[in-house]
Chains A and B, each alone.
Chain A
């Protein structure tokens, strides 16, 4: 079968068995493509409830730089017999099936090319140790794929040498294994196949990291010293990354002791309780969790809102309760976080789009939490949290100081400055606080949820309660001016249509906008980066006849938030919702929006150009 050659634009999917050591080999594959200057975006897919624990690793190679998910597989590396049928079926017509042909399989489909490499046989020949056979099998297939896809073996060689810099003994055998696969493929197949990687210059100085690690590094740079957490996928690796980073970056050189405390709590109630206790006492503290953890934290979150205690919550969102689907991605905690808890509460939310913003917001969240004296949520999701993604390199301004907010010092108290814990002295709704232990006779107060006046004296007076609630609302208005502003990108020509999106939807939305533009459907784009919504968000809605709100949940949660907070006529906001647990794709968005707009609304291309 002859196929059209496709350069730097295809999808490779690895079907593996969990625990077979494939993860590092697959990462090696993705990194090699990046090193050749070609954008590649991997995604892990790991259902948690299927026997034998299959996992998939999907790499989208896209010279045009599209980092969003796309449907279809052009090359399947089928290493898991259990999912064979499913994997074969999911190949696009004309695709390639690469498999371990030690036990040859019948050609399963006529419309695909089968590439069999006797990986097990090769390993059994070369290695006597069973662990080695398993590990090197993965490296061998990476070598084989390099030959098939025209990936430069030298790139793999330098990556391998870097990877094992600390364990030099491992370099030579890994290089040998890679070469073994490479040479085998060259000898037995017509290399390269129609899918090819060709050196380009489309990666630049970008880095390759997962959002959870980036957020954890942001927390380190943001000055977090207390982390209390309870394991839950997909947030676990955030707390673990924080532990890893602090081990190196927060060690007191003289003593080897740590400038951070990390506690694996007994549950999420305790995690958030510890964060609140630490925040009350002046340390920058955070927890990392996912939806079920947010549910457990509700009561405490309300307390922190009312008692005005800084806290940072990283919520790496996943689908619904129980196990199974929950290890899939969604943006389904927006409402649960925005109005978390009982009483009238509203919380600050940040929506990072990629690892770069996970880092930036991960640090900024601590400034916001202390400035606003309130919980701040950073809403990641599994897609950006647990997958490595090409993103802008991190940067830091060394002149930047942490904003510790309004904390009255012992000297100010001593000088006789009036201290009222809940007193709005300058109209921004944010009162001063004191830290425990500050002054022998001034500035102490009793922290409680409600029932207090401006000076934190106990009262059940309704008027005092109302005044306090109004001040808290004022504070939320102040928050609007401090949180990251939305990012707007207008279409080439004026258009009646807008699209609002946030978080991990970004790359798919950008690609969809291009696809739609090519068909003459023009969209102005607004990426929301925070709640409360900046006035620009409402202006954007007002300027457009119809605004698509693109989300990865069933109930259009951000749309509801826009309607509630902006008093927007619901008819103006059109739902575009993706919620099957897979990451949203450009095809989906373009299909939904294109379908709604219809041909009647297409801007004639010729007319648009003056």
Chain B
């Protein structure tokens, strides 16, 4: 069930949003991924989230590492600059880009191999630094692009398509993100658009480090019996703690809820998150209990999804570094170069 405001037009693809763009303006090149790949659904969710938020596409910067997942930024937001960097290092490139211009919206797309295997270090440090970005890991528990090897999020005991059993413990990126200080942490499933789109919208509007672990089955190499990242397995074990309805400051709140079921979280920018609780004892403002809950449910074999943690007043890296409000890439020469008179003073002090 979705509570998103839907355009009341007969031809939705011709509808325009608040800034006059159609859905098509948020699309990219035709995907070259395998038909049915979970990653394509996430691309579609990103397109929808950006369209519905009326974000100017060119003000978004898309960054990725290497992998099938990291290829996807070509397939959405064609009017935005994109950067397909190197394997596992998208977070540092995003950090640098964010330092250069604090005004763009940064969307990082990565894979489980990219972020949990080769890039675990950069993943951790970007989140702990408070990079104002949306970081989506399209998690299929496998290396898609190199054809089916286990990744660091593959569960212990799960089997590969060729029949090998994974003997290493899995890394839970959500648990790490919580521990590292990400100020928005969510998990979702590529097959659950109703859950995923509002989460992406909320993450994009979150003025701090927002992380979404999106389980995204690889139909080619990890959708068999014995996989714990297959469509069937995820559907069977998915336990959402809440349902999110992301509402921008301007929109009216229309949905009906029974009293007590709803929590309203007002974000720093005025955007409103309405959370419908599914697990009554779950508090998305408490890192410690969120971690404990996650661990307990994981042991019980459940895959916990939803908005797992949010700090409505996050601090970001620019605040911590006390940089000027003007983007650093837009400062004029005269503000950067101290000039010859100052150099004479400096020379004099060096004699």
Contacts and interface: CB of A to CB of B under 8 A. Distances in A.
Contact of A281 (B61, B323, B333, B351): B61
Interface in B250-271: none
A228 B96 contact: yes
A401 B122 contact: no
B84 A447 contact: yes
Given A269-B89, A273-B96, A277-B94, A249 B338 contact: yes
Interface stretch (B135-143, B197-205, B301-309, B324-332): B324-332
19 contacts: A208-B351, A225-B100, A258-B322, A259-B335, A261-B321, A262-B321, A263-B99, A277-B63, A278-B329, A279-B100, A281-B104, A395-B343, A434-B81, A437-B59, A437-B103, A444-B79, A446-B83, A446-B84, A447-B82
Given A436-B80, A446-B73, A207 B347 contact: yes
Given A261-B323, A277-B85, 6 more contacts: A249-B342, A265-B92, A271-B92, A273-B86, A276-B93, A444-B80
B81 A277 contact: no
Contacts of A285: 96, 99-100
Contacts of B95: 228, 263, 270, 273-274, 277
In the complex, which of the residues B73, B93, B129 has the most CB atoms of chain A within 10 Å of its own CB atom? B93
Interface in A378-426: 393-398, 401-402
B93 A280 contact: yes
A441 interface: yes
B349 to A, nearest CB: 9
In the complex, which of the residues A262, A281, A440, A449 has the most CB atoms of chain B within 10 Å of its own CB atom? A281
Interface in A439-461: 439-441, 444-449, 458
A250 interface: yes
A281 B100 contact: yes
B347 A393 contact: yes
Contacts of A223: 333, 336-337
Contact of B79 (A226, A270, A299, A441): A441
Contacts of B343: 221, 394-396
Contact of B96 (A256, A279, A396): A279
A401 B333 contact: yes
A283 B104 contact: no
In the complex, which of the residues A271, A272, A448 has the most CB atoms of chain B within 10 Å of its own CB atom? A448
A206 B347 CA distance: 9
B101 interface: yes
Nearest to B330: A282
A205 to B, nearest CB: 7
Given A225-B328, A259-B336, A266-B122, A448 B346 contact: no
B146 interface: no
Contacts of B338: 220-221, 249
In the complex, which of the residues B96, B335, B340 has the most CB atoms of chain A within 10 Å of its own CB atom? B96
B339 interface: yes
Nearest to A440: B58
A257 interface: yes
Contacts of B97: 277-278, 280-281, 436
A259 B323 CA distance: 6
Interface in A215-248: 217, 220-223, 225-226, 228
Contacts of A261: 99, 317-318, 321, 323, 328
A93 B346 CA distance: 42
Interface in A181-237: 205-209, 217, 220-223, 225-226, 228
A119 interface: no
B336 A447 contact: no
B121 interface: yes
Interface in B26-85: 29, 56-59, 61, 63, 73-74, 78-85
B350 interface: yes
A281 B340 contact: no
Contacts of A436: 58, 61, 80-81, 97, 101, 104
A480 to B, nearest CB: 27
A266 B121 contact: yes
A273 B92 contact: yes
Nearest to A458: B74
Given A267-B121, A458-B29, A225 B81 contact: no
Given A260-B323, A281-B101, A446-B73, A208 B350 contact: yes
B92 A277 contact: yes
A252 B336 CA distance: 10
B125 interface: yes
Nearest to A35: B351
Contact of A205 (B78, B91, B122, B351): B351
B80 A394 contact: no
Contacts of B330: 282
B115 to A, nearest CB: 14
In the complex, which of the residues B91, B100, B122 has the most CB atoms of chain A within 10 Å of its own CB atom? B100
A278 B121 contact: no
A126 B113 CA distance: 67
Contacts of B82: 444-447
A226 B328 contact: yes
Q: Which 6 A-B pairs have the closest CB atoms?
A: A277-B96, A273-B92, A283-B100, A274-B96, A436-B81, A282-B329
A278 B336 contact: no
B209 to A, nearest CB: 14
B333 A402 contact: yes
B92 A441 contact: no
A69 interface: no
A435 interface: yes
Contact of A397 (B80, B89, B322, B340): B340
A283 B328 contact: yes
A303 interface: yes
A270 B350 CA distance: 34
A447 B83 contact: yes
Nearest to B25: A441
A183 to B, nearest CB: 28
A263 B130 CA distance: 12
A255 interface: yes
In the complex, which of the residues B92, B129, B351 has the most CB atoms of chain A within 10 Å of its own CB atom? B92
A105 B7 CA distance: 95
Contacts of B101: 281-283, 436-437
Contacts of B85: 273, 276-277, 303, 447
Contacts of B331: 225, 259
A278 B321 CA distance: 16
Nearest to B129: A263
Nearest to B87: A299
Nearest to B93: A277
Contact of A278 (B78, B89, B99, B103): B99
A300 interface: yes
Contact of A270 (B99, B122, B317): B122
A437 B100 contact: no
A275 interface: yes
B92 A258 contact: no
Nearest to B89: A273
Contacts of A401: 333
Contacts of A276: 85, 93, 96
A252 B324 contact: yes
A437 B86 contact: no
Contacts of B324: 252, 255, 257-259
B38 to A, nearest CB: 22
A500 B79 CA distance: 51
Interface in B111-151: 121-122, 125, 129
Given A269-B122, A396-B339, A441-B79, A446 B74 contact: yes
Contacts of B328: 225-226, 259-261, 278, 283
A307 B121 CA distance: 24
A249 B95 CA distance: 24
Contacts of B91: 270, 273
A283 B329 contact: yes
Given A396-B343, A437-B101, A275 B96 contact: yes
A18 interface: no
